[in-house]
Amino acid sequence: MDMTGAQALVRSLEEQGVEVVFGLPGGTILPTYDPLLSSSLRHILVRHEQGAGHAAEGYAWATGKPGVCMATSGPGATNLVTALSDAYMDSVPMVAVTGQVGTKMIGTDAFQEADITGITLPITKHNEIVTEVERIPAAVAEAFHIATTGRPGPVLIDVPKDIQQGRGDVSWPATMDLPGYKVPGPPSGEAIAAAAALLRQARRPVLYVGGGVIKSNSHEELLRLAELAQAPVVTTLMARGAFPDSHRLALGMPGMHGTYPAVAALQEADLLVALGSRFDDRVTGSLPHFAPHARIVHADIDPAEIGKNRQPDVAILGDLRATLVGLTASLDAEIAEAGPLDTRDWLATVNNWKRQFPLRYSQADGGPLKPQYVVERLSALTGGNAIVVAGVGQHQMHASQHYSFTKPRSWINSGGAGTMGFAVPAAMGAQVGRPGELVVAIDGDGCFQMTAQELATCAIEGLPIKVLIFNNGFLGMVRQWQELFYDERYSQVELGQAIPDYVKLAEAYGCYGLRCDSADQVDEVLEKALAATDVPAVVDFRVHDREGVFPMVPAGQPNDQIVLGPEFSADEQRAAARRTVLQTKR
Amino acid sequence: MTTHTLSVLVENKPGVLSHVAGLFSRRAFNIASLAVGPTSDEKVSRITIVVDGDTTPVEQVMKQLDKLVRVLKVVELYRGTAVERELALIKVHAEPGHRGQLLEVVQVFGATVVDMSPSTLILEAVSSPGKLDALLAMLDSYGTSEIVRTGRIALGRGPAAITDQHRAGEQAAGEQRADEQPAA
């Protein structure tokens, strides 16, 4: 049918089942904003395009569906760059649509011209500048297909203004033409059998679970495998919630700020079954010293992850859910033949570690408020049922460590990219995707000030997110590194707790503003904030400015150098370093 | 330098070369040479990339290339089972006293003279990379003022075509690498 490129673009988004677009119009995307007005799409007008990008990410994390954002050319498009990079690092399915100057103006340094496909080349799974009206339906269909299949990721479509304005003959359903796009098929039965055999023989197995378990919606299959294998489970920062923290096989998060049991279990394991995880440096520490005794089974949908950082003994390429189902069945058959795995000594060992070296902090009566205490109370008051969103830094680690996650898609954060300012707009996107559910952003004062303007969007759009600012007046994680590694020389990290006045700021944005600076008020303030359902609520938690995040493996060090922190005695630290593994009798 | 020769079939669409080249900078892979041109299918271009194997994990390069949406196929070619050629144009000083000697060198290496001036010659040489290096070494003593090389191109020997080959990296594992052989 004959229509304009703009109409074709909007119709293509509708054809993809898009419900909501986060965006902000401008010169070169104006033609598309006109048919948008009369479409079925809900558009959420953000205050900054970065907010649109992170909101699309938050929506995708929370729902599993691709998030969509839209911006104009030049600065509008470049403001999406941080969010695209973030989505690329964390494999978040997302489609960004940008306006571009007219095709005849491209290359002339026209007003608001930026080579956004060039700029985003290394941070998108794919991008394309569309130069024909007739190409629009296929370009959009391909973008969604690429963003959501295989290892998900962001795709950008750049549409010059004259292509939006021009007319063409377009039709649906669109025919995709992607001869070079390869999505791995079902996992190999041979590889699965080999992995099951290794698992059957293992005495000290660990399931090393990454974000792929959540993305493939295979948490139930994971639970079955873990219980059948009687293997302890570590969930990376990207996988928090993939396995219930309350489960007796759960060891929590591994890595730089992981729990001692999770870190030690990886170091002592004789078999790691890596499930949708990528041996990231924040997990492995010094790579040559990581899990030195372990054989590796690596299951992933992305062939390039296999062998990138650690060479596996068995590689399983393909959909993780199919892998987990196959692995469980195969292991079940092995057990029927050779009897169950005996991991009792191993579980006794890790349980000892759990008892001896738990996450520890101290909240003194009348003493300074500890961020960990606030997270623990939030966890208790919400029964682990909130959708928790974090930015990047100390508050993020405290949230990941101390919130007891019960289900997938209840933890949303910036993992790989480490994007400060992620939390407020991502929480907004999550709330749009899951209306009626409790969405709580835990944010640092540094992070919060980077994207706080989206509170206006939330207030106007009726998105009652809760924002808990852990206000320590510092760029806390940077301060912690300066304390530990730069001789306590604090360079440019003090923000001050008083400016801005977060309560007044919240009120100015039409939100409910609260403040809390002592432990005995935490429950009352949290309850008030959580009860606000009409407008967003912002709580200024004045937390202790010297509190660090522990345990900690200093960057690039072997994981065996894990520092338990000031809450542990020198004797305990020595005991942790000389840990013993119960010997398994064969 | 240890090198690997990769043949990459790509869709002939705008921006494809920048996707491929961009991947190398993004992943800090080092390219020794890159040559691109059309194939018998107008929708498909063929890029021959020579990768520095000392600094770059070639398996990762192939996997990452394979992930690019516009890349159709990635195959590693080995000297033992492929023909490799490179074209060079060389402007060499040819004073009258040295010219006869120089032409002898040209003949031995199967190069041709394509331009002549009172003090210089332009030579055209098409050969395997090793032989070309040997020629350039010989010409060094006469003094070369300008050199342009196309970068390596390569085709697998025998009836099999890249389009029906399986991943050569897997197939040919264990075969001798191109660079481990002496210059032809």
pLDDT at position A584: 54
List the catalytic residue out of A22, A113, A125, A161: A161
pLDDT at position A467: 98
**Chain B residues with beta carbon closer than 8 angstroms to that of A128:** 15
pLDDT at position A363: 96
Would you say A5 and A12 are in contact if contact means Cβ atoms under 8 Å apart? no
pLDDT digits (tens, 9 = 90+) for A272-330: 999 999 999 999 999 999 999 999 999 999 999 999 999 999 999 999 999 999 999 99
CB pair distance less than 8 Å for A129 and B71: no
- A413 has pLDDT over 80: yes
Closest CA of chain B from A470, distance in Å:
35
List the catalytic residue out of A105, A253, A256, A477: A477
Would you say A165 and A31 are in contact if contact means Cβ atoms under 8 Å apart? yes
Partner residue facing A304 (CB), from B11, B15, B60: B60
- A571 has pLDDT over 70: yes
In order of their start, the domains of chain A are: 2-169 (3.40.50.970), 189-356 (3.40.50.1220), 371-542 (3.40.50.970)
**Chain B residues with beta carbon closer than 8 angstroms to that of A129:** 14-15
Length of chain A: 586
- B54 has pLDDT over 90: no
Q: Tell me what percent of the residues of chain A surpass a pLDDT of 90.
A: 97
Phi and psi of A434, rounded to 5°?
-130, 70
pLDDT at position A182: 92
- B183 has pLDDT over 80: no
pLDDT digits (tens, 9 = 90+) for A88-111: 999 999 999 999 999 999 999 999
Q: Any catalytic annotation for residue A112?
A: yes
CA–CA gap between residue A55 and residue A428 (Å, rounded): 6
Q: Any catalytic annotation for residue A111?
A: yes
Would you say A389 and A59 are in contact if contact means Cβ atoms under 8 Å apart? no
Q: What's the pLDDT band for B164 if we cut at 50, 70, 90?
A: low
Q: What fold is seen in the domain B84-149?
A: Alpha-Beta Plaits (3.30.70)
pLDDT at position B98: 86
What is the overall mean pLDDT for chain B?
A: 86
CB of B68 less than 8 A from some CB of A: yes
Positive/negative CA dihedral, A448, A450, A454, A455: positive
CA–CA gap between residue B147 and residue B135 (Å, rounded): 12
pLDDT digits (tens, 9 = 90+) for A231-276: 999 999 999 999 999 999 999 999 999 999 999 999 999 999 999 9
DSSP state letter for A266: H
Amino acid (1-letter code) at residue A540 = D
List the catalytic residue out of A16, A49, A396, A428: A49
Domain ranges of chain B: 3-82+154-180, 84-149
CA–CA gap between residue A231 and residue A75 (Å, rounded): 50
CB pair distance less than 8 Å for A121 and B59: no
What is the overall mean pLDDT for chain A?
A: 97
Greatest Cα pair distance in chain A: 78
CA–CA gap between residue A365 and residue A380 (Å, rounded): 19
Give the pTM: 0.94
The average pLDDT across B130-157 equals: 93
pLDDT digits (tens, 9 = 90+) for A199-232: 999 999 999 999 999 999 999 999 999 999 999 9
Q: Can B3-82+154-180 and B84-149 be said to share one CATH topology? A: yes
- B179 has pLDDT over 60: no
Tell me the sheet residues that pair with A470. A444, A541
pLDDT at position A165: 98
- B79 has pLDDT over 90: no
Positive/negative CA dihedral, A122, A124, A129, A134: positive
Minimal-distance CA residue of chain B relative to A118: B18
Partner residue facing A182 (CB), from B25, B64, B66: B66
Q: Strands across the sheet with A314-317, in order?
A: A250-252, A233-235, A205-209, A271-275, A295-300, A314-317
| Homologous superfamily of B3-82+154-180 | ACT domain (3.30.70.260)
pLDDT digits (tens, 9 = 90+) for A503-542: 999 999 999 999 999 999 999 999 999 999 999 999 999 9
Partner residue facing B63 (CB), from A117, A179, A304: A304
**Chain B residues with beta carbon closer than 8 angstroms to that of A308:** 60
Tell me the sheet residues that pair with A443. A469
Partner residue facing A179 (CB), from B19, B23, B72: B72
CB of B41 less than 8 A from some CB of A: no
**Chain B residues with beta carbon closer than 8 angstroms to that of A116:** none
Tokens of B23: 């991947």
pLDDT digits (tens, 9 = 90+) for A444-491: 999 999 999 999 999 999 999 999 999 999 999 999 999 999 999 999
CB pair distance less than 8 Å for A303 and B14: no
pLDDT at position B180: 35
Would you say A549 and A480 are in contact if contact means Cβ atoms under 8 Å apart? yes
CB pair distance less than 8 Å for B69 and A117: no
